[in-house]
């Protein structure tokens, strides 16, 4: 039996076909994951056509003698997905998807009931079934990337909420009257502890902080070209003005900080290729590279982000009392320091009696979690009873 996991992202769609082994056999990838660019016209029709082609392509990968036994399909998508698999409200990255009945349309095409859920909920499902949360009866997965989202697992299953909004932790207000968020509120967690929020805090503190924050990162942000050349490893001759220096003739980076798997070296992406800008997620990488060197500004930015994350984690702990909170998403490329930072501030916000049994861990599945979770949810729906360990 086979299960196809599809993960729709803002710029690309990833899909992978897994073989569901005998009980105890796990989920085994049949081929390398497929990655396709999201249709440039952004229309629902184009997206649906692409999804049909992805389904057809993967069905062909199944040996013909086994094709009749079917292929389960799971799909994670941005936006709010209610418990029936319907998209509600605008999916942030895919305009025009309001109210589409993606589940019904795909199920009719594929001839099986397709499991559809929010992409972060799918990643949460993967961590619960096959990753950091294996064996726990209640778990919350928080994804820290360009934005912030979470997926809730309680009593052995995911929680979508009445309208699919359960887990929208990125829009928990942690700073009343603070930074404007695209959702309409001010002071949302996402504006402080996502990759772009971290970069923005660095920018703000570089401009307004006291002399105790002076260091290489501040110099870099303030455009000190000598310090900048040292940090970027791309010396600029002293006698030339910055404006005289031609932009580096390197190809654009293909590795995105938001997509770096946990444990990957932060130097995997050549630093000279990282675009600058206060709202660019790549700049969070710069903050955490500077933190490794003990930079005072980076320490202040990290503390600020961690404290607000701890505030949000405390809300989760008090409301849901989960056994485990798993942190994932591109920001975790910075390493265990993110988990450590949250732990250091938790005691400020969580009742002491609730702290003892609360564990915070880092993702073990990385950027493929959404795809894997979609396949796992579809496999579970079919009741195939594969093992709880990944293969
Ligand atoms: Zn918001």
Q: Are residues 57 and 176 in the same domain?
A: no
Q: Which pLDDT value is given to residue 266?
A: 34
> Are 313 and 339 within 8 A, CB to CB?
no
CA of 181 from ligand 1 middle (Å) equals 5
Using a pLDDT cut of 70, give the percent of the chain over it. Answer: 79
Q: Are residues 218 and 359 in the same domain?
A: yes
Q: Are residues 206 and 152 in the same domain?
A: yes
> Are 363 and 261 within 8 A, CB to CB?
no
CA of 148 from ligand 1 middle (Å) equals 10
CA of 91 from ligand 1 middle (Å) equals 14
What's the mean pLDDT in 47-60? Answer: 94
Q: Which pLDDT value is given to residue 56?
A: 95
Cα 290 to Cα 228: distance, rounded to the nearest angstrom? 12
Q: Are residues 8 and 76 in the same domain?
A: yes
Whole domain around residue 256: which residue ranges?
132-364
Cα 296 to Cα 391: distance, rounded to the nearest angstrom? 42
Domain tally, the chain: 2
**Banded pLDDT at 111 (limits 50, 70, 90):** very high
Let me know if residue 86 belongs to a domain: yes
Q: Are residues 117 and 139 in the same domain?
A: no
What is the SS3 assignment for the chain?
CEEEEEEECCCEEEEEEEEECCCCCCEEECCCCEEEECCCCCCHHHHHHHHHHHHHHHHHCCCHHHHHHCEEEEEEECCEECCCCCEECCECCECCCCCCCHHHHHHHHHCCCCEEEEHHHHHHHHHHHHCCCCCCCEEEEEEECCCEEEEEEECCEEECCCCCCCCCHHHCECCCCCCECCCCCECECHHHHCHHHHHHHHHHHHHHCCHHHCCHHHHHHCCCHHHHHHHHCCCCCCCCCHHHCCCCCCCCCCCCHHHCCCCCCCCCCCHHHCCCCCCCCHHHHHHHHHHHCCCHHHHHHHHHHHHHHHHHHHHHHHHHCCCEEEEECHHHHHCCHHHHHHHHHHCCCCCHHHHCCCEEEECCCHHHHHHHHHHHHHHHHCCCCCCCCCC
Q: Are residues 328 and 204 in the same domain?
A: yes
Residues 330-368 have pLDDT tens digits of 999 999 999 999 999 999 999 988 888 899 999 999 889
User: 44-60 vs 102-110: helix axis angle to the nearest 10?
Assistant: 30
CA of 357 from ligand 1 middle (Å) equals 30
C-beta atoms surrounding 248 within 10 Å: 11
Let me know if residue 388 belongs to a domain: no
* Complex prediction ipTM: 0.99
Q: Which pLDDT value is given to residue 162?
A: 81
Q: Which pLDDT value is given to residue 366?
A: 86
CA of 185 from ligand 1 middle (Å) equals 5
Cα 256 to Cα 265: distance, rounded to the nearest angstrom? 13
The dihedral through the CA atoms of 93, 98, 103, 105 has a sign that is negative
Paired residues of 324 in beta bridges: 139, 359
- Residue 326, pLDDT > 50, answer yes
Q: Are residues 287 and 167 in the same domain?
A: yes
CA of 180 from ligand 1 middle (Å) equals 8
CA of 327 from ligand 1 middle (Å) equals 19
Q: What is the mean pLDDT of the chain?
A: 81
Q: Are residues 316 and 171 in the same domain?
A: yes
Q: Which pLDDT value is given to residue 80?
A: 79
Start-to-end CA span in the chain (Å)? 15
> Are 189 and 309 within 8 A, CB to CB?
yes
Q: Which of 217-226, 291-300, 379-388 shows the lowest per-residue confidence on average (mean pLDDT)? A: 379-388
Cα 298 to Cα 345: distance, rounded to the nearest angstrom? 17
Let me know if residue 113 belongs to a domain: yes
CA of 80 from ligand 1 middle (Å) equals 14
CA of 179 from ligand 1 middle (Å) equals 9
User: 282-292 vs 195-208: helix axis angle to the nearest 10?
Assistant: 60
Let me know if residue 92 belongs to a domain: yes
Let me know if residue 346 belongs to a domain: yes
CA of 241 from ligand 1 middle (Å) equals 41
**Banded pLDDT at 43 (limits 50, 70, 90):** confident
CA of 197 from ligand 1 middle (Å) equals 12
Let me know if residue 390 belongs to a domain: no
Q: Which of 10-14, 53-57, 220-224 shows the lowest per-residue confidence on average (mean pLDDT)? A: 220-224
Q: Are residues 38 and 104 in the same domain?
A: yes
CA of 349 from ligand 1 middle (Å) equals 21
CA of 183 from ligand 1 middle (Å) equals 4
Using a pLDDT cut of 90, give the percent of the chain over it. Answer: 54
Let me know if residue 248 belongs to a domain: yes
CA of 195 from ligand 1 middle (Å) equals 15
Residues 78-108 have pLDDT tens digits of 887 877 777 776 555 566 677 778 899 999 9
Q: Which pLDDT value is given to residue 68?
A: 74
- Residue 388, pLDDT > 50, answer no
CA of 174 from ligand 1 middle (Å) equals 10
Residues 243-300 have pLDDT tens digits of 333 333 333 333 333 343 333 333 333 333 344 444 343 489 999 999 999 999 999 9
Q: Which pLDDT value is given to residue 386?
A: 54
Q: Report CA 376 to chain centroid distance, whole Å.
A: 18
Q: Are residues 282 and 373 in the same domain?
A: no
Let me know if residue 193 belongs to a domain: yes
> Residue 260 corresponds to which tokens in the numbers above?
């770096």
Q: Which pLDDT value is given to residue 26?
A: 74
Q: Are residues 90 and 180 in the same domain?
A: no
CA of 182 from ligand 1 middle (Å) equals 6
Q: Which pLDDT value is given to residue 194?
A: 95
CA of 126 from ligand 1 middle (Å) equals 26
User: Which CATH number belongs to the domain containing residue 69 in this structure?
Assistant: 3.30.420.40
């Amino acid at each position: 039996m086979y299960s196809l996991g599809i993960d729709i992202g803002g710029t690309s769609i990833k899909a992978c076909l897994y073989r569901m082994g005998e009980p105890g056999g796990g989920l085994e990838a049949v081929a390398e994951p497929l990655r396709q660019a999201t249709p440039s016209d952004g229309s629902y029709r184009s997206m649906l056509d692409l999804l049909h082609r992805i389904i057809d392509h993967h069905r062909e990968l199944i040996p013909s003698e086994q094709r009749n036994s079917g292929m389960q399909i799971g799909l994670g998508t941005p936006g709010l997905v209610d418990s029936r698999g319907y998209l509600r409200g605008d999916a942030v990255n895919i305009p025009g998807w309001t109210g589409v009945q993606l589940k019904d349309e795909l199920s009719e095409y594929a001839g099986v009931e397709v499991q559809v859920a929010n992409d972060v909920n799918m990643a949460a499902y993967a961590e619960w079934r096959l990753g950091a949360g294996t064996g726990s009866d209640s778990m919350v997965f928080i994804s820290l990337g360009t934005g912030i989202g979470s997926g809730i697992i309680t009593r052995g299953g995911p929680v979508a909420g009445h309208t699919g909004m359960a887990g929208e932790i990125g829009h928990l207000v942690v700073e009343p009257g603070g930074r404007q968020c695209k959702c309409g509120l001010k002071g949302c967690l996402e504006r402080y502890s996502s990759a772009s929020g971290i970069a923005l805090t660095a920018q703000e503190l570089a401009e307004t902080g006291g002399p105790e924050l002076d260091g290489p990162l501040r110099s870099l942000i303030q455009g000190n070209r000598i310090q900048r050349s040292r940090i970027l490893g791309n010396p600029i001759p002293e006698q030339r003005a910055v404006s005289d220096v031609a932009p580096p003739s390197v190809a654009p980076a293909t590795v995105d900080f938001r997509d770096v798997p946990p444990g990957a070296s932060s130097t995997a992406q050549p630093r000279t290729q990282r675009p600058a800008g206060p709202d660019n997620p790549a700049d969070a990488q710069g903050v955490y590279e500077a933190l490794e060197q003990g930079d005072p500004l980076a320490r202040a930015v990290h503390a600020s982000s961690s404290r607000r994350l701890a505030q949000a984690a405390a809300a989760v702990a008090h409301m849901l009392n989960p056994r485990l909170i798993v942190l994932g998403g591109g920001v975790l490329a910075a390493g265990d320091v993110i988990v450590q930072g949250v732990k250091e501030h938790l005691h400020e916000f969580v009742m002491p009696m609730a702290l003892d049994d609360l564990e915070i861990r880092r993702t073990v599945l990385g950027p493929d979690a959404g795809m894997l979770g979609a396949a796992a949810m579809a496999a579970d729906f079919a009741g195939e009873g594969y093992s709880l360990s990944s293969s």
